[in-house]
Amino acid sequence: MTENKTLTLTLSIPAPLTTHLWSSAAPNFISDQPDRFWTYDYPELPDPHSPIFRNGTMMWTESMSDALLLRACEDQLGHATTLLFDEAGFSAGPVILCSRPFYAQEEGKMR
């Protein structure tokens, strides 16, 4: 598929099961290591340096499909998201940067 358009899919996932879409999470530290991450060049993806993400959560996924599903789920829950790629060796892969505060995970509200 090479068409350059956004597809809208209807998929029902119980919110608690979305925690299986990510493998690890951390508070947003993109400004501390800006060369580690690159962004995808799509106009609908917000700038990861936007203030809305300042206290947000970074979630690493095992695959691009998991990242896209996780992004859609977090958007449905009312959180702003953007898609990054982590170039660090052992953790290389897609990352969702979300406006959901990281403390939500620490309080058990994510898993």
pLDDT in tens, 8-44: 888 888 888 988 999 999 999 999 998 999 988 787 8
Does 110 have pLDDT greater than 60? no
Query: For the whole model, what pTM was predicted?
Result: 0.84
* Rounded Cα–Cα distance for residues 7 and 104 (Å): 30
Work out the average pLDDT over 80-99: 92
Work out the average pLDDT over 50-54: 95
Q: What is the mean pLDDT of the chain?
A: 88
Does 85 have pLDDT greater than 90? yes
Greater pLDDT, 30 or 5: 30
